[in-house]
């Protein structure tokens, strides 16, 4: 543990970098997936193209994408942009499916009645679909957030900043403590992000109380039954 | 500098990057299609086999661990929240870090350069998606179908194997797809601490600053992932039980009653009914 | 014969059934009718041990069902539910022969029997190789009934089986049930919330209120003519004028008289050939009454 105190500055610096390099993809990914998801929920063609395209990108292992992007984008491999772009692509890919489903699942009746009341397409989106889809979007975003924080550590292999450095360095120095510290701080960062998201969710969507979904009487012969 | 010059410069650099990228890709493909690079212990063939081998082994271990447990959880409805909590927490662990950790611990215990720690990590990594696929597959089976099977006298085991499992297969295979993808990706990274697998091209390329080599690795790994995922997607379509339309699973309202499909046109005939 | 003695069922704090006693005679149709929450489905499901009572005894032919293993019990009782409960991944013929196959009947024999049963329930044999999803609601219910009959049961349990089909199909299916019961003399316990269906099908109609409380039981004629209290009167509609009929003074066809309800709507015609009223059967369902004693 002395190592921890001795190098606290370094570790905190790495954590800050990690937060920045993963935070941007999370936010941009979320922001980008909203319009993309909305288009895709309305158009079969858009849905097919987007889902297939991002599906393919998501299937490509992260290290491969980290390596190939600089070549395609024309940036240097050590440029942070590569990592941020790659993680953003993954974030969008992870969110897209859920976003499409969330917007698509807003009940047709609700939308129809909004249309009948005179809401335009855009305002329908902001006043009806987005708020109702909110909880699902938030749940997806939390998953994406955790995954992105974890994924960034892989970028250390191409020399990127962030807590992943502790893993490569710890391996080269054969130093277990350093690796454990790396894992702990990564998890802590993921927790912080998650908590922030939950709090933001509570503030923006005060009507959303966690629902306890109860099953029907038919589960098992003796199951407790909530009468219909 | 006039705006036109600015645009011209931008276009030039765009074309330059494009040509640059093209050059790397062409060299990489030349490498891949050169048969001599497939032979030998460090050739494409050997590394591909190693990559596949380690993937298959980890997945099999994970299946043995996760699928029975998942089926049980789905069938009995118990333990679900515990499992979700654990898998949620596990997702926060950085795979790369855990991999390095296990390998170092393995070396500590004298495992040397053995692949056991790597396989262990990969198997553990594959468990959550398989688990989720199994229990969500079973849960997606219409509760009324299960209830009716029980009411006509099937034993619990018969319900699980003859009703729930066949109907759960698509989601189960979906979990398999997800798990396989993660394992292939992590096996790539494992090349950092192991000597085998297609990831070696990536690692070597990065360390030697030989970007062609790195792109070779990227293409091979991406191709492997896409092909395997494609095959599994086909399998997923094939195992969908006949007679069950996609999404013809449960939709429960708050009362727990199943939303009934609307009937077709009324049959008013008295004789054997052929059309609805 | 099925007997309930002092049966109660609680789910946590919720009392679904409280001290329920009833004798269900064999070879007849007994209908349990009531609104939601009257515990009728719970009571039905106690017969094949899908639900076990918190207290009290359920006996079939003098044997306490608790002493019989559930799986064995259920394989000898036919069960039809509202959503047909067919296995969606199996063809019609395999659905019908599910339980015989479970008990070891050889496949060809089971299939042959399944085809016979399709005739019994009025299904074209051409549907045998179809999947449930390809059938209409009415057809699926018929398959459900065929499946229930496949075990040659003494007891047939039916839980609101026709609730989800449209009225014309429902009427057909109700007639099928009557016909099947006539031919096989099975004991049928039928649950519904529809009083008209209860009166059509039931030899014994049991009207239930909250908690499984029996408000009135008897033949349809008895209940209709002498409702026990206001609740029953309201439930069967005798206070709403639908059931109070008078003969219209405006003439019908020749000597025939037209019946109108309290709202003035014509509901039927009384035949009066030659000016004399025709007398109908005492039992409108004209079922054969068995001479056998219990």
Task: Summarize pLDDT for B25-83 with one digit per residue, the tens.
Answer: 888 888 888 888 888 878 888 899 999 999 999 999 999 999 999 999 999 988 888 88
Residue environment code for C272-287, b if the CB has 16+ CB neighbours within 10 A, otherwise e: beeeeeeeeeeeeeee
Give strand pairing partners of C207.
Answer: C33, C216
**pLDDT beyond 50 at A226:** no
CA distance C75 to chain B (A): 5
Which chain A residue has the Cα nearest residue B99?
A167
- Write down the mean pLDDT value for chain A: 83
**Alpha-carbon distances of C250 from A165, C125, C256, C277, rounded to whole Å:** 100, 50, 11, 17
The alpha carbon torsion through A170, A176, A177, A178 (nearest 10 deg) reads: 10
- Residue A225 has its nearest CB partner, among C11, C36, C52, at C11
**pLDDT in the model for residue B107:** 83
Measuring CA to CA, how many Å separate A58 from each of A2, A22, A90, C2, C141?
40, 17, 6, 62, 46
Q: What is the DSSP letter of C189?
A: E
Q: In this complex, which of A159, A167, A218 lies closest to B100 when CB atoms are compared?
A: A167
Question: Which residue is it, tokens 């009718």?
Answer: C33
Is C70's Cβ below 8 Å from some Cβ in A? yes
- pLDDT band per the 50, 70, 90 thresholds, residue C83: confident
| CB pair distance less than 8 Å for A59 and B222 | yes
Dihedral class, residue A23 (left if φ above 0, else alpha if ψ from -120 to 50, else beta):
alpha
CA distance B162 to B157: 8
**Tokens 């990592």, residue located:** A83
Chain C residue with minimum CA distance to A225: C11
Give pTM, 2 decimals: 0.79
Evaluate if residue A47 carries a pLDDT over 60: yes
Chains A, C: CB contacts under 8 A, how many? 22
Q: What residues in B contact A156, CB-CB < 8 Å?
A: 96
Chain C residues closer than 8 Å to A226 by CB:
11, 14
Q: Give yes or no for a contact between C88 and C76, defined as CB atoms under 8 angstroms apart.
A: no
H or E stretch at C100: helix C98-102
Under 8 Å CB pairs connecting chains A and B tally to: 164
Q: Which residues, in sequence order, are bridge partners of residue C23?
A: C3
Tokens found for residue B42 = 């460090």
- Cα four-point dihedral sign C139, C144, C150, C152: negative
CA distance B21 to C292: 94
Of B216, B194, B235, which is closest to residue B107 (Cα–Cα)? B194
What is the spatial distance between Cα B210 and Cα B201, in angstroms, rounded to a whole number?
10
Q: Is C11 at the interface with chain A, CB within 8 A?
A: yes
Q: pLDDT category, A199, cuts 50, 70, 90?
A: very high
A52-96 confidence digits (pLDDT tens): 999 999 999 999 999 888 877 776 666 788 899 999 999 999 999
Site from C44, C47, C50 to mutate, A interface, most A CB atoms within 10 angstroms: C50
Lowest mean pLDDT across B30-44, B83-97, B234-248: B234-248
CB C122, CB C174: distance < 8 Å: no
B275 interfacial to chain C (CB closer than 8 Å): yes
Between CA B260 and CA B256 the distance in angstroms is 12
Query: Which of C98, C124, C168 comes nearest B268 by C-beta?
Result: C168
Share of chain B above pLDDT 70, in %: 87
Q: What is the ipTM of this complex?
A: 0.81
Mark residue B110 as left, alpha or beta (left: phi above 0; alpha: psi -120 to 50; beta: remaining): left
């Amino acid at each position: 543990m002395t190592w921890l105190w001795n190098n606290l500055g370094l570790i905190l610096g790495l954590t800050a970098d990690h937060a920045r390099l993963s935070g941007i993809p999370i936010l941009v990914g979320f922001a980008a997936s909203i319009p993309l998801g909305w288009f895709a929920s309305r158009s079969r063609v858009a849905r097919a193209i987007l889902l297939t395209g991002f599906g393919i990108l998501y299937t490509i292992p992260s290290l491969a994408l980290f390596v190939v992007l600089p070549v395609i984008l024309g940036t240097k491999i050590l440029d942070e942009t590569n990592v941020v772009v790659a993680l953003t692509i993954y974030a969008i890919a992870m969110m897209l499916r859920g976003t499409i489903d969330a917007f698509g699942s807003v009940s047709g009746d609700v939308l129809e009645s909004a249309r009948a009341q005179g809401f335009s397409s855009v305002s329908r989106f902001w006043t009806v679909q987005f708020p109702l889809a909110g909880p699902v979007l938030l749940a997806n975003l939390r998953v994406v957030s955790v995954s992105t924080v974890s994924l960034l550590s892989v970028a250390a292999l191409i020399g990127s900043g962030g807590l992943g450095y502790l893993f490569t360095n710890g391996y080269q120095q054969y130093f277990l403590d350093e690796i454990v510290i790396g894992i702990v701080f990564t998890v802590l960062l993921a927790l912080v992000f998650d908590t922030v998201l939950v709090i933001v969710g509570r503030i923006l969507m005060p009507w959303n109380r966690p629902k306890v979904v109860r099953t029907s009487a038919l589960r098992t012969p003796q199951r407790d039954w909530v009468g219909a | 500098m006039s705006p036109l010059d600015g645009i011209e410069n931008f276009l030039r650099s765009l074309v330059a990057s494009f040509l640059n990228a093209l050059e790397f890709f062409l060299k990489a493909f030349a490498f891949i299609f050169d048969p001599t690079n497939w032979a030998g212990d460090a050739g494409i063939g050997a590394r591909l086999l190693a990559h596949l081998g380690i993937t298959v082994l980890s997945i099999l271990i994970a299946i043995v661990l996760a699928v029975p447990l998942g089926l049980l959880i789905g069938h009995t409805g118990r333990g679900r929240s515990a499992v979700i909590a654990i898998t949620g927490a596990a997702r926060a662990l950085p795979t790369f870090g855990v991999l390095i950790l296990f390998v170092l611990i393995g070396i500590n215990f004298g495992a040397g350069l053995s692949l056991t720690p790597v396989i262990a990590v990969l198997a553990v990594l594959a468990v959550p998606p398989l688990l989720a696929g199994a229990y969500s597959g079973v849960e997606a089976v219409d509760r009324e179908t299960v209830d009716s099977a029980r009411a006509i006298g099937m034993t619990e085991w018969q319900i699980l194997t003859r009703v729930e499992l066949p109907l759960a297969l698509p989601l189960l295979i979906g979990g398999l797809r997800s798990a396989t993808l993660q394992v292939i990706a992590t096996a790539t990274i494992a090349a950092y601490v192991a000597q085998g697998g297609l990831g070696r091209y990536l690692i070597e390329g990065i360390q030697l600053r030989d970007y062609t080599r790195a792109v070779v690795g990227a293409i091979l790994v991406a191709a492997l992932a896409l092909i395997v995922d494609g095959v599994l997607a086909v399998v997923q379509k094939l195992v969908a039980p006949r007679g069950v339309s996609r999404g013809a699973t449960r939709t429960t309202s708050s009362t727990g009653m199943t939303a009934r499909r609307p009937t077709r046109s009324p049959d008013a005939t008295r004789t054997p009914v052929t059309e609805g | 014969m099925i007997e309930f003695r002092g049966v109660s069922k609680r789910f946590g704090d919720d009392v679904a059934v409280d001290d329920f006693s009833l004798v269900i005679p064999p070879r007849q149709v007994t209908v349990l009718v009531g609104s939601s929450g009257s515990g009728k489905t719970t009571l039905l499901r106690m017969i094949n041990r899908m639900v076990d009572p918190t207290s009290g005894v359920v006996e079939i032919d003098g044997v306490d069902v608790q002493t019989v293993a559930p799986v064995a019990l259920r394989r000898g009782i036919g069960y039809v539910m509202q959503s047909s409960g067919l296995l969606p991944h199996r063809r019609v013929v395999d659905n019908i022969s599910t339980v015989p196959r479970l008990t070891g009947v050889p496949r060809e024999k089971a299939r042959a029997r399944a085809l016979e049963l399709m005739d019994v329930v009025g299904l074209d044999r051409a549907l045998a190789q179809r999947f449930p999803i390809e059938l209409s609601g009415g057809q699926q219910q018929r398959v459900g009934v065929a499946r229930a009959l496949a075990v040659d049961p003494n007891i047939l349990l039916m839980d609101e089986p026709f609730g989800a089909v449209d009225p014309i199909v429902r009427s057909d299916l109700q007639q099928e049930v009557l016909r099947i019961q006539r031919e096989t003399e099975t004991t049928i316990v039928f649950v519904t919330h529809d009083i008209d269906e209860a009166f059509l099908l039931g030899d014994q109609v049991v009207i239930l209120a909250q908690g499984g409380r029996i408000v009135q039981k008897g033949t349809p004629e008895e209940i209709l003519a002498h409702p026990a209290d206001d609740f029953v009167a309201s439930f069967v509609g005798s206070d709403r004028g639908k059931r109070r009929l008078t003969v219209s003074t405006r003439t019908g066809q020749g000597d025939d008289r037209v019946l109108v309800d309290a709202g003035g709507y014509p509901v039927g015609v009384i035949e009066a050939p030659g000016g004399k009223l025709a007398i109908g059967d005492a039992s409108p369902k004209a079922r054969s009454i068995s001479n056998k004693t219990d």
